[in-house]
Structures are given as C-alpha cells and as structure tokens.
Chains A and B, each alone.
Chain A
C-alpha cells in the first residue's frame, strides 16, 4: 500500500554527472538512491528525522564550503552532487577509522564491507587510543544495552522520545567523548520510565541494543543468521493488527522485528508484540 500524497514539483539535480529528477523536498540521499548510488549511512533511519550525527554519508555539493550530509540536506534545483569525490571518500574513510577505533563495530551490518571499500585502518591510532569499551548493561530479561557498540546516533533516544514512543526513558548524558545514552542518574532500566516496547532495539544500527535472546546466543556462539528464517505475520494480542517479523532459528523464535514500511506502525510495536513470544 502506498500512502497518497499531494503531487510535488520535480527538481533536477546532478549526481556524479548524471541528471536525476526527484520530488521537491527530497534529500540528497533520496536523489542518490534514485541514481542508483550506494551511499553508506549509519545514523540515518527510514522512520526517523535525520540527526546527521555520524557523518558517514557526507557528499560534496558544488559551492559548499564543507561537505553536506546526504541524509538530511534537501535537494535544490540545479544542485551538483559528488558522492565519490576524493574529499568525500577521504572524510568517509576517516570517519570509519574514528568509529572503528573507538567503538566495537563487530555487529554493525556492512561496517566491515565499508571499512574495506574505503581503505580505512582503524588500527592506525595505536593500541592506546581511547575507546568507549565498557561492560554490557544486563538489567532486565528482555533486552541488553551494550554501549561499547554505541556510536551515539541518537536513534534510540528519538524513537523513545517525541518521534515515536513518547516514553522518554533515555537521553544523551554527558558531553563530548564521554557522552552516553543514559536514564536519569544512570538508573537501571527496571527503575526508569522504560515500557519495554523495544522500539529502540528496532532502530539501533550497530547491535548495541539487542534482544536478550540474541545477546545470550551470541555469547554462547550459537547465533547464526544463515540458519534463520524470517516470517511476517500479524500480532495476535489485540485488534490493531501490527505486523510482526519473526526471526526463527532451529524452530525457535529468537527475535521479533516489524516492517518499517507498514503505514500504521512504521516498525513500532508494544512490549507484547515485541517480546511476548514465549508462549509459542
């Protein structure tokens, strides 16, 4: 189903020398996708307002002093965009090095592929380079917060806050390199406003937030995505009828996600849909 929208004027932009026509109000990323360019993104979320914090999607816009974040900058008529210029590639490479040297990217989809593609060497900062390494926070039975993997993309905060859930259980605390995602006074989740909807887990791009089942299986070495199937069905709890995607390994549900393109829920669920699968 495609939600109807009022017709929008089309804007011509040039991406890597190719002319692309996209609706007015589109982002550069939309234009790049339309032109078939693969621009890496981390903090961009298809269901969230771009925060443009990770800067891995930067592109060169002609006439602009600095590079522009593709995920949030809106196209303008006649804009000339370079996605693969030396400057853009250089910044992406260094951003990947900065992230790779300070954060555990081992569960970030595509991170290894990009690091290779851009020739990034996270190890060049030496063994003493500061990291955000810390023990994972396991304070409830449903999901785990492993902030050693957190790139501070703000997506979980936005999903928990006014963009979706309006629970406001977490925020960004501290400043600079010491900034973390935290509840008030770093209280355990069980003591916070958290309602365990898991919508933060849904949007986390690095696996810093994960189902307890996934976390335990990874620790035990039994997590194997190649042996998993995904089945989208309808939640059986209430009459809303949210879509659930059940991730099944060895005939057991190991994780539940929800399709982001659902026009009603946009990938959001409640605690029952997300975590209430134990009875199956």
Chain B
C-alpha cells in the first residue's frame, strides 16, 4: 500500500507509547531509521491493521489525546492510510484528536443516574469546571447503576489511572480542585489497563467497594451464576479451582466437542445479550463450517443503559469467564478468542488481564490445555466508548481496526465473521451459563425456569429502589417477585425493562421470561429493570433515551442517522407543547427506523419512546 503522509512528527512520548505496544520499528518503512539494507532490500510489512485501536489507546492513555504526528506514526507502523485511521479515531468517544487535559471526568447522565439526580451533579460540575468538552464530559451509562449517580475519571500518564466515583452527591463537588472530588465510597485509583498485566489486581482497589457490594444476594444459597461472587477471591486461581472451578472444562474434555454442543442444545440455553438466539445452534453452525480458522468473540462491551451484570461477573468471578470461553472454543474449534470489553470498565479489565495471565502461566490457556491436544488463547481488546460496538458484527470491525459500523447480514457471523472467518459471538452471561450446564448436566439445567426459558437470569435493578444491584432469579419469577427483593422506594410508576432499547411496563405481574415479556409487548433485553417512581420526570427520561440513540448511532444508514435526530427534535417540541402532528411524526419515523435500519440500534431506537406514549400516556 502506497501511503502519503503530511509532515507531522510524533513527540518522543507518543513514539514511546506506540513502541511500548508494538516494539521498535523493524524497517524504515515502518517509521524506523533508514539503513543501508533498506535501500537494497524491499520489505513488505505484514498488515497489522487490527492493532490500530490498541495503538490509538496507547497514545490516548499516555498523552490524553492523539495528535497528527502520533496518528501518522501509528499509520506508518501499521501500514494504515491516515484518512482511515482518522476516521477510526474520531469514531470513539473516549479518544480525542484535539488537545485536552490528561485528566477527564466522565459524568454519567444516563437513565439510572438521571433517576437518582445526575442532573444536579452535572450542573454542579459545569459550574465548577465550565462547559463540557475539555476536562469533563457527560457520559452515557457507565455501568455503575447500583452506585448512581456515578462518575469516572480517566487520567492519562504512565501508567494511566482511573477513579470511580459513586454515588456522587452534588454538594460533594466542592470548590476545591475537582480532582479531589470526594465520593461516599472514596475514589479508587486503578492501575488502568495496559500497564498492569499480571500484577495483583487488588492493588489500587482501595476505596472502591468490592464487586459483591453490587449483589444484594451475595453468599445466599441457591445462586448459580453469582454463587462465587463475594465468596471466592477473584484474584486467586487456586481459590477458584477449590470452589469447583475447571470441573466443567474437565467434563467438556470427556464429552468431546460434539458432546458439549449436544449438552448446550439440550439445556435450551439462549443468548443473554438481548436477541435470545439458541446458543447451541450458534455453536453447532460454527463448528460445522469447513472454512478455518474459527474465532471466538466474547462480547463484554456491555453498554446498554442500566446494564452492569457482566461487569459484576468479570470483577467478581473472572476465572469463570476464562473457563467458559475455553469450553466454547473447544466446542466450536477455535484456537483464538477475543474478549472485547468496554473501555469504561477499568477494574474488570484489570481483573481479567490478571486472570488470563494466571491461567496462561498455569497451563489453562495456551498449548495443550490440561494435557489435551487443544490449544486456545484469549486476547483482551478494549473498547473506546461506542455502544454500537456491542452489535455482533460491529464488534468485528472494531477488533479488525475499522470503524465500528455494523455489517449487513447475511452473511451471518457463523459463516463470515471476524477476519471473514466463521465466528461465534457470545455475551459474558451466556458464556458463564455453560459452566452449570456442564457441571450438573443439561437435564438439571433445563429443569430450572420455564419450558421456553431455561436456567436462571441476572437482572440489573436500578432506579428508585432501596437495594439496587444484580439479582439472580430462575426464569418464571414475576416482576413483582423481583420488586419485593429490591424493595422499591415509594410507589413505582413504571419500570423500564431491557434498557434504552427496551420498553416501559406498568404491570408488575409480568413473568420475567423471554416468552412472557414478549407477550406483554416488552423484552427482557439485557436484563435491565429500571424502577421509576413519581418523582422522576418521564419526559426528561425520554429525552435522554433519544439523546442516547442520537449520540450512539454510527451514522451508516439514513433511517437511524437522521431518524434519531428527528426523534429527539420532536420530543423536545413535545416536552413543551403536545401536538398531534409531532406524535404522528414520531410514529412514522419510528416505524421506518424499525423497518429499514441496518442493525438493532436503529431498529430498537423507538421502542421505549413508543411504549411510554402508548402505555404511560406521557404526552396526553
């Protein structure tokens, strides 16, 4: 590829940050010093486009933003056209191509936080720090909903650090330096991703409550997916194994790949990311593909507003995910797995890096796992602030170093996925469900729940409840059962099921199953249960939902790119004055987004607003 660069040079710091990731440049073509040999021998560098996002992260983590010199140097190193790399860098909310201070405060203003007073925090921060864009910015859901309202400060440096705050009270945003922003739980400095591979993941955890603080049921009998949270030490592989860990992988080796798939099929497990596709069928279809290699992608880009279940699993029981990915790879014939985790989860990233490194050191990843002729390894990839990258094909583009835009289907991932090869994509919660299936057998698993929704489900309860957090219930429990556990504050007016892409419901007797919610015209989605009482301004909620989709639309297709903007505009008008024409306009645009958008983002962008108009009568 013949590339043309402008004459921007990287600073020594930027160069060092990139070289720390990629190693020193091998040839002059890659940005190294020109030698005699370069003039005599033609070198053809291997394409390394998939390292583009990690390289952009490296500079952004070190300096806080990506200058033209840094971008050019990355492009030289990876043989990527600068215009395309610029397109990638500008796609992600956590990356900046304009100078900004090293420390940036991300103030969550999304649904769960808004229900708990994020607007006051936002106003207070704005008074102290000025308009957003430089040292702070409003953020979509940070996945800290049980600690709402929450904030996350990311500070570039060597090493970069991350502080999590929550719950933040507006009066705590003091006159002092905003870096002193106190939190009830205190800030936690996390040796953030990248520099802490293999170190004790508990280091720097001071202050941030442990993962089990988000699990009100922690330690109770009868839990399946959450049973180790708060019980076993998330940093200890020995503790994990002593607690029954890696028994499922041993059983998998006894059953063989086809046997594992049969068990998963018979268990009736369906995907927990929102689409509820039968996991066994996905695995079977991938395993049967003649094209090789096969890839496994674990979708840990948990960004649906109000969702934080995957974070709790990854922080509280990281080895379970590593083991489950190993089993999935064994069943589907993958030698390589990518764990794509959202960039706003510093502690989960740190815990998983540690868990992967430990498992590798102990022969549980790598070649000849547990003495069997099976090789598998996991590469952790960090997202950079883009909800759309949780879409199953956008995640491929993001990993490959392209803009995280969804691909059109067909072809489906099981045929042509990551790098054009057969790929199985599963959500974190889906994968960890495989462990109990193999430990206790498909029959025992299928006996839990209802006929069409087997097993247990994690629910992310937030909003106006006394005990927010992750709850595990067998399928079939009603919304009321869940409410009784979470203890609503005041009279619940409405519950948002499934997040921004879900729907509002008022009937508490809805059974929380895939079929039950579908019958009620709602969806379980990713398990979001956001409880709203009379104190919450529903119009403001709808505006936030519309703003979320407008911000997070990738911009590829017209119905979503322009439709989400028109939806937000109409809701702004409606919140001032109810006009039938605007309601009709919303319906028409909404129907078109649902019918004609490329991916699930546009197709669901109107769901919650529609349900609020029809069921809650917000604009009556």
Residues of chain B from 563 to 579 with CB closer than 8 A to chain A in the complex: 563-566, 569-570, 573
B82 touches A176 (CB 8 A): no
Give the distance in Å from the alpha carbon of A183 to the alpha carbon of B82 in the complex: 8
- Min Cβ gap A149→B in Å is 14
Residues of chain B from 516 to 550 with CB closer than 8 A to chain A in the complex: 550
Give the distance in Å from the alpha carbon of A50 to the alpha carbon of B570 in the complex: 32
- Min Cβ gap B434→A in Å is 28
B81 touches A176 (CB 8 A): no
- Complex interface bits, A185-210 against B, C-beta within 8 A gives 1, otherwise 0: 10100011100000000000000000
Main secondary structure on B side of the interface with A: helix
B86 touches A152 (CB 8 A): no
Question: Which residue from B97, B591, B597 sits with its C-beta under 8 Å from A185?
Answer: B97
- Min Cβ gap B321→A in Å is 29
A184 touches B83 (CB 8 A): yes
B598 touches A176 (CB 8 A): no
A69 closest partner in B (C-beta): B408
Give the distance in Å from the alpha carbon of A128 to the alpha carbon of B565 in the complex: 12
- Complex interface bits, A22-58 against B, C-beta within 8 A gives 1, otherwise 0: 0000000000000000000000000000011111101
Stretch at the interface among A92-100, A223-231, A253-261: A92-100
Give the distance in Å from the alpha carbon of A154 to the alpha carbon of B557 in the complex: 10
* Residue A213 at the chain B interface, CB threshold 8 Å: no
* Residue A138 at the chain B interface, CB threshold 8 Å: no
A162 closest partner in B (C-beta): B1
A72 touches B592 (CB 8 A): no
Stretch at the interface among A4-12, A13-21, A166-174, A263-271: A166-174
* Residue B87 at the chain A interface, CB threshold 8 Å: yes
A129 touches B566 (CB 8 A): yes
* Residue B553 at the chain A interface, CB threshold 8 Å: yes
Give the distance in Å from the alpha carbon of A193 to the alpha carbon of B81 in the complex: 9
Question: Which residue from A124, A177, A183, A191 sits with its C-beta under 8 Å from B555?
Answer: A177
B81 touches A168 (CB 8 A): yes
Give the distance in Å from the alpha carbon of A129 to the alpha carbon of B573 in the complex: 11
B592 touches A66 (CB 8 A): no
Residues of chain B from 371 to 402 with CB closer than 8 A to chain A in the complex: 386
- Complex interface bits, B232-265 against A, C-beta within 8 A gives 1, otherwise 0: 0000000000000000000000000000000000
Q: Note all chain A residues with C-beta closer than 8 A to B84.
A: 161, 168, 171
Best-buried of A72, A125, A166, A184 by chain B (most CB within 10 Å): A184
Give the distance in Å from the alpha carbon of A174 to the alpha carbon of B98 in the complex: 13
A102 closest partner in B (C-beta): B562
Q: A54-B557, A101-B562 are in contact. Are A95 and B592 (CB under 8 A)?
A: yes
* Residue A141 at the chain B interface, CB threshold 8 Å: no
B559 touches A95 (CB 8 A): yes
A193 touches B558 (CB 8 A): no
Q: A91-B592, A176-B552 are in contact. Are A55 and B85 (CB under 8 A)?
A: no
Give the distance in Å from the alpha carbon of A191 to the alpha carbon of B8 in the complex: 12
Give the distance in Å from the alpha carbon of A151 to the alpha carbon of B1 in the complex: 28
* Residue A130 at the chain B interface, CB threshold 8 Å: yes
A179 touches B561 (CB 8 A): yes
Best-buried of A72, A87, A125, A192 by chain B (most CB within 10 Å): A125
B564 touches A176 (CB 8 A): yes
A171 closest partner in B (C-beta): B87
Q: A52-B598, A66-B595, A176-B561 are in contact. Are A125 and B585 (CB under 8 A)?
A: yes
* Residue B608 at the chain A interface, CB threshold 8 Å: no
* Residue A182 at the chain B interface, CB threshold 8 Å: yes
Give the distance in Å from the alpha carbon of A170 to the alpha carbon of B81 in the complex: 9
* Residue A252 at the chain B interface, CB threshold 8 Å: no
A94 touches B554 (CB 8 A): no
Give the distance in Å from the alpha carbon of A156 to the alpha carbon of B398 in the complex: 22
- Complex interface bits, B589-620 against A, C-beta within 8 A gives 1, otherwise 0: 10110111110000100000000000000000
Q: A175-B90, A177-B550 are in contact. Are A55 and B558 (CB under 8 A)?
A: yes
Question: Which residue from A90, A130, A183 sits with its C-beta under 8 Å from B588?
Answer: A90
- Min Cβ gap B374→A in Å is 36
- Min Cβ gap A152→B in Å is 7
B599 closest partner in A (C-beta): A66
B565 touches A183 (CB 8 A): no
Q: Note all chain A residues with C-beta closer than 8 A to B90.
A: 173-175
Q: Note all chain B residues with C-beta closer than 8 A to A128.
A: 569
Give the distance in Å from the alpha carbon of A191 to the alpha carbon of B84 in the complex: 16
* Residue A78 at the chain B interface, CB threshold 8 Å: no
Q: Note all chain A residues with C-beta closer than 8 A to B559.
A: 55, 91, 94-95, 98
- Min Cβ gap B447→A in Å is 32
B566 touches A90 (CB 8 A): no
* Residue A178 at the chain B interface, CB threshold 8 Å: yes
* Residue B44 at the chain A interface, CB threshold 8 Å: no
Give the distance in Å from the alpha carbon of A192 to the alpha carbon of B87 in the complex: 14
Q: Note all chain B residues with C-beta closer than 8 A to A52.
A: 408, 557, 598
B596 touches A171 (CB 8 A): no
Question: Which residue from A66, A72, A74, A129 sits with its C-beta under 8 Å from B569?
Answer: A129
Q: A91-B596, A102-B562, A185-B68 are in contact. Are A152 and B85 (CB under 8 A)?
A: no
Question: Which residue from A67, A69, A102, A176 sits with its C-beta under 8 Å from B554?
Answer: A176
- Min Cβ gap B385→A in Å is 10
* Residue B71 at the chain A interface, CB threshold 8 Å: yes
Give the distance in Å from the alpha carbon of A102 to the alpha carbon of B564 in the complex: 12
Q: A176-B554, A177-B553 are in contact. Are A72 and B562 (CB under 8 A)?
A: no
A185 touches B565 (CB 8 A): no
* Residue A126 at the chain B interface, CB threshold 8 Å: yes
Best-buried of B82, B408, B561, B585 by chain A (most CB within 10 Å): B561
- Min Cβ gap A167→B in Å is 8
Q: Note all chain B residues with C-beta closer than 8 A to A130.
A: 565, 569
B386 touches A175 (CB 8 A): yes
* Residue B283 at the chain A interface, CB threshold 8 Å: no
- Min Cβ gap B453→A in Å is 20
B72 closest partner in A (C-beta): A184
A177 touches B562 (CB 8 A): yes
* Residue B91 at the chain A interface, CB threshold 8 Å: yes
Give the distance in Å from the alpha carbon of A108 to the alpha carbon of B618 in the complex: 40
- Listed A/B pairs (9) with beta-carbon separation below 8 Å: A52-B408, A52-B557, A90-B595, A91-B591, A129-B569, A172-B87, A182-B83, A184-B68, A192-B6
Given contacts A124-B585, A168-B84, A174-B555, 14 further A-B contacts (CB under 8 A): A55-B597, A72-B408, A98-B563, A98-B589, A129-B566, A152-B555, A169-B83, A172-B403, A176-B551, A176-B561, A176-B564, A184-B72, A184-B83, A185-B97
